[in-house]
Every structure is written in C-alpha cells, then in structure tokens.
Structure 1
Amino acid sequence: MDNHTSPGRIGQTAQDLKEYAALRVDSFRLSLIDNLSSFFNSLFGVFILIVLLGIATTFFAIALTWVLGIALGSMLLAIVLMGCLFVVFAIIVYALRRKLIINQTVRMLSGMVHDMSQKHSDYEK
C-alpha cells in the first residue's frame, strides 16, 4: 500500500515544483517589467528635462549675447565670449561626468537590482 501512494506523492511533488517554478518566473518577469518601466520613465523624464533646459539655455544665451554685444559695442566679440563660456561649461561637465552622470546611473540601476532581489528572495516572511 505504501508503494501505491509513493508514486502519487512524487508526482504531486513534481507538479508542485513545476507550479512553484512557474510562479517564480512570473514573479520575476513582473518585477523586471516594473523596474524597466521605472527606468524608462526616469530616462524619458530626464530626456524631456534636457530638451527643455537646452531650449531655455539657447534663449538665455541669445539674450546674453545681445546684451554683451550692446555693452561691448561688438557683436562678434560677444559671440566669441559666449562660445568660450559654453566651452568652459562643457569642460566642467566633462570633468564632473563621473559624479553627475555615471554614479547616478549606477546607483539607480543597483537600487533596482537590490529591490528586485529583496522582493524575490526565498526567505520572504
């Protein structure tokens, strides 16, 4: 009689393992979708912010160039000064690229991976 129930238990255990694995895969997939949507939402927000700041910077640069041209009496000199100002800003951003861009991206992605591992650990309470 014990022999009769043994294959049933093994079969039930195998079925339970298959269901558990399918649930874990589904849970991982949903978490991945959640994290990717958060990532792309943040990326889209940053992109929109950069575009709007670029437009604002262009208008302010044109206005400042115009004011400098009037103050200095030479529009060519004002344009050259604004060009130099933008080169200085580009050098500053390049020098701080690790702190401004790379570290922030790594921190955001590692936070997502950590959250995903916390949500899907086998030791959930």
Structure 2
Amino acid sequence: MENNDRGRIGQATRDVKDYAALYADRLRLGLIENLSTFFNALFGVVVLIVLLWIAAMFFAVALTWVIGMLIGSMLGAILLMGGLFVVLAAIVYAVRRRLIVDQMARMFGKMVYDMRKKHSDDE
C-alpha cells in the first residue's frame, strides 16, 4: 500500500513539474509574440517618421524658396520657416503625452489583455 502511495506522489510530482514547464513555455511564447508585434509596430512607425521627415524637409526647402521669392529676402524666408518649425515643435511638445505616452500605454494594455484572453486556463 505504501509503495502505491509513493508511486502516486511521484506521478503527481512529475505532473506538477510538467505543468510548470508547459506554463512557463506558454508565457515565453506569449511574450515572444507580443514583443515581435511591438517591435514590428515600432519599426513601421520609425520608417514612417523618417520618410515623413525627409518629405517635410523637401517641402520646407521648397516653401522657403517660394517665400523668399515672394518677399524678396531669402534671409527673411529662412527666419519665417525657422519660426514655423519652432511653433510646430512647441505644439508637439505640448501634446506629447496624448500622442506618445497614451498610445504606448494603450498598446501595451491591449497586448496584456489579449495575452490573458488567448492563454486563459478556462479553455
């Protein structure tokens, strides 16, 4: 009888170890999936920002040239464009929390919620 109890305890111990290993694997796979989604989104945003920055610089040079021809002073046009960029930078700085921090928090929250929903033990 005692031999049978030891066999059951040994089997239960092995089952708990297997369960813990599977649970750890599931968490690792979920983390890998969420990190790959995050870095994919981050890479896309960085590429988009770089391309938009290049386009903005071309448009800024063209607009500076046009303003310089209209007002007759290239120095005045450069100063106007510099002022415009300072105003735009101040606006972005003022709404940085809504533009950047809130979006990142929302994305991480969605990842965690999706991971819990996808990998719940209720299945």
TM-score (norm 1): 0.94
- Cα deviation code 1:5-58 (max 9, x no counterpart): 111111101101100100000111011000000000111111000100000000
Counterpart code for 2:112: V
CA shift at 1:3, angstroms?
Answer: 2.1
1:1-125 alignment runs, 5 A limit: 2-122=1-121, 124-125=122-123
Give 5+ residue unaligned stretches, structure 2: none
Aligned residue pairs, count = 123
Alpha-carbon distance in structure 2 between the residues aligned to 1:4 and 1:99: 65
Q: Provide the identity percentage.
A: 61
Higher relative contact order (CA 8 A, sep 6+): 1
Amino acid at match of 1:53: L
Which 4+ residue blocks in structure 1 deviate beyond 2 angstroms? 117-122
User: Where do 5+ consecutive residues of structure 1 fail to align?
Assistant: none
After superposition, the CA RMSD in angstroms is: 0.9
1:56-105 Cα offsets, whole Å, 9 max, x none, are 00000000000000000000000000000000100110011011111001
Structure 1 residue 121, shift from structure 2 partner:
2.9
* One-letter amino acid matched to 1:28: L
In 2, Cα distance between equivalents of 1:60 and 1:118: 46
So what's the TM-score if we normalise by structure 2?
Answer: 0.96
SS of alignment partner, residue 60 of structure 1? helix
SS at match of 1:121: coil
